[in-house]
Chain A
Amino acid sequence: MTSSKVTSAILAATILTTGSTFASDNPGAHQHGHAELQLAIDGNQIDLIFTSPAYNLLGFEHRARTEKQKALVTETTNWLGETPLVDTAEAGCEVMNAVVHHQAGGEDHEHEHGHAHDHEDKHEDEKSSTHSDFEVTQTLNCSGLDASEELSTPLTARFPEIEHLNVEWVWSGGQGSGRLERGETSFRPGTQ
């Protein structure tokens, strides 16, 4: 078993547990215009989790009803599954593995790229809440990651409804965070 498969297994396990509800498990915050991107950087590999209310990405939060809405969901899901959500200045990042989670309906409910793994999706949130979220996990392989000081994300340009994108990162040298406003696309994880 390679280490990336191990990570995938852990990843799948993590996602599986998110569906269950406990007394201590308050619903996550849901704020339109606000999204979060978490990056774990290790050598040339980036593991990222992107979470955003569906409204920021689609413009609606209910299940897709019309054909047009379903097409939009499919298009967005495909884009999120195939595009590296962070990249070096030389565009050296490649998506090794991606899982897109949402409750917006459409045809391709879960988009998987690279290694496939089984997991069911529970629709509990849909019944209990009028809000829905997108959650994207990606594993990227980036050539020249060590040398590049600046990383960029296509998210703020692709989805103008995202007004603030909170970026948090962890790397061997420490942790840090930054906030991208509308129109800003790049950040420097090396600095605080």
Chain B
Amino acid sequence: MKARLALTLAMASLWYRKKVLALVCLTLTLSVSLLLGIQYLRTEVKQSFTSTISGTDLIVGARSGQLNLLLYTVFHIGDATNNVRWSTYQSLKEDTRLEWLIPISLGDSYRGNRVVATDENFLQHFRYGRDLPLELAEGQWFEGVFDVVLGAGVARSLAHQVGEEIVLSHGGGRTSFSNHEDTPFTVTGILAPTGTPVDQAVYIGLDGMEAMHVGWESGVAIPGRTLTREQAEDRNFTPDAITAAFVGIERQVLTFRIQREINQFSGEPLSAILPGVALSELWRLMGQFERALLGITGFVVITSLIGLIAVLLTLQAQRAHEIAVLRATGASPALIASLYIIECVALALAACVLALVIGMAGLSLASPWLLANYGLQIALRPLTATEWALLAAVPVAAFMVALIPAFGTWRQSRRLGFGEAADQ
């Protein structure tokens, strides 16, 4: 009976002050959204980073450290020190335990973006994120010697369309004075955005890479020795070496054994790395960044709670008259206290639900746009236990805050001396 009375009274009181409370609720909702947003972003950035490459069991390159190999093959940072012989790649291809291999040849650039020479296996087998395949937004994968496929970022920033001709540069760097002008490439396709370094590269065939370097033995084009496009079409180009290969293994259980065998390959010094292991090690190095975000989350929590307390206490201060009337009509201090508590918790709950709805709607609307424009892959996912705990902390905090005026009322009633009267 008493509980029902308290509830009815609380609802009536909330409804009476709906305009002010709507504003309070908005403030709270914003704080909760910020809190959840930063926490969500923190885990998503990590997720996005660690799933830059997935489904690839091993990356094989010349002998080097695992971070170095990962950085130049996947992130396009730094350069290879050595290459892998074509014959070695062929012998790896004959290993039946390896399901697929993607050859990668690096070294040239297109206006600061890496040129990656590879084959159709790249489109078929390369995976990123939660096992997502590469897709072509426009056109098709390269077939001819002088066909090129652009990453989404390259196509967007340089405003290229399918069918355009582009000239690749010799070597790395943004401004290169030696361009492969005799052998322009035709854009045949543009990849859909992935939010990974795949977007910032252009893709050609291994034969294309060989063909444009004919006559470039001395590092610059020697007139008369380079090929025209027509001459190149008739020739067969087998590379001598590739930079690295991505490997998919049929039975993942064998990964460590195959890694060991490749590391002990007798033909030439090779390194096989597990990209997932290397990525998690790299993330550990960048743990500072995650800790900074965690720190920000902590500050946001504190600020939000202080804001909540301030707002609720201000509200209570305005209600002195209302409380006096209630007390005069015989409401017990317990009833008044429960009024405060119900109101605060109800406000907090409403703010939490609103924040969740706004957050989810905002994310599902913004994520395709973020991916297309900023290459940020932020997926909608169920909340983790930590996030639920953070969310649950808001009504709990509201409850604690409500205890302050509740206690104040009780003390005041004692002082005025009608505590006993009301209790009877």
Give the interface of A toward B (CB within 8 A): 7, 10-11, 14, 17-18, 22, 24-26, 38, 40-42, 45, 47, 49, 168, 170-172, 174-179, 192
- List B11-62 residues whose CB lies under 8 Å from chain A: 46, 50, 54, 57
Contact of B261 among A14, A24, A175, A192 (CB under 8 A): A14
B284 touches A170 (CB 8 A): no
Q: Is A170 a contact partner of B57 (Cβ separation < 8 A)?
A: yes
Q: Which residues of B contact A (CB under 8 A)?
A: 46, 50, 54, 57, 63, 251-257, 260-261, 264-270, 274-277, 279-281, 283-284
**Which 3 residue pairs are nearest across A and B when measured between Cβ atoms?**
A175-B276, A24-B269, A177-B277
Q: Is the CB of A17 within 8 A of B269?
A: no
Q: A40-B255, A40-B256, A42-B253 are in contact. Are A170 and B266 (CB under 8 A)?
A: no
Docked pose: A18 CA to B261 CA in angstroms: 9
Task: Report yes or no: A38 in contact with B281, Cβ–Cβ below 8 A.
Answer: no
Would you call B264 and A25 a contact (CB within 8 A)? yes
Distance from B336 Cβ to chain A, minimum over Cβ atoms (Å): 47
Nearest CB in chain A: distance from B325 CB, A: 56
Query: How many contacts between A and B, using CB within 8 angstroms?
Result: 76
Which label, helix, strand, loop or mixed, suits the secondary structure of the B interface?
A: helix
A132 CA / B158 CA spacing, docked (Å): 57
**What is the bound-complex CA distance between A176 and B267, given in angstroms?**
29
**B283 surroundings in chain A (CB, below 8 A):** 192
Chain A residues near B265 (CB-CB < 8 A): 24
Which listed residue, B254, B261, B264, touches A40 by the CB 8 Å rule?
Answer: B254
Cα of A45 to Cα of B252 in the assembled complex, Å: 12
Taking a contact as CB atoms under 8 Å apart, the answer to whether A47 and B253 are in contact is yes
- Please report whether the interface of chain A is mostly helix, strand, loop or mixed according to DSSP: strand
A49 to B263, CA, bound (A): 15
Complexed CA–CA distance, A176 and B273 (Å) = 12
A7 / chain B contacts, CB cutoff of 8 Å = 253
Give the interface centre of B261, B265, B274 by most chain A CB atoms within 10 Å. Answer: B274
In whole angstroms, how far apart are the Cα atoms of A26 and B147 in the complex?
Answer: 41
The answer to whether A42 touches B252, judged by C-beta atoms less than 8 angstroms apart, is yes
List of B residues within 8 angstroms of A49 by Cβ: 256
Which residues of chain B come closer than 8 Å to A171, judged between CB atoms?
A: 252
- Would you call B256 and A17 a contact (CB within 8 A)? no
A49 (CB) vs chain B CBs: closest residue: B256
Q: Which residue of B lies closest to A172 (CB)?
A: B252
* A179 to B256 alpha-carbon distance, docked (Å): 18
Known: A14-B261, A24-B268, A25-B264. A170 touches B46 (CB 8 A): no
CB distance from B91 to the nearest CB of A (A): 14
The CA of A42 and the CA of B63, in the complex, are separated in Å by 29
Q: Do the beta carbons of A14 and B276 come within 8 Å of each other?
A: no
Smallest beta-carbon distance A44→chain B, Å: 12
Measured CB to CB, the nearest residue on chain B to A48 is B256
Cross-interface CB contact of A178 among B260, B266, B280, cutoff 8 Å: B280
Contact at B266–A25, with CB atoms within 8 Å?
yes
Distance of A38 Cα from B258 Cα, bound (Å): 13
CA A123 to CA B63, docked complex, whole Å: 26
Q: How far is the CA of A42 from the CA of B283 in the complex (A)?
A: 25
Q: Are A175 and B269 in contact (CB under 8 A)?
A: no
Assess whether B254 is in contact with A176, with CB atoms less than 8 Å apart. Answer: no
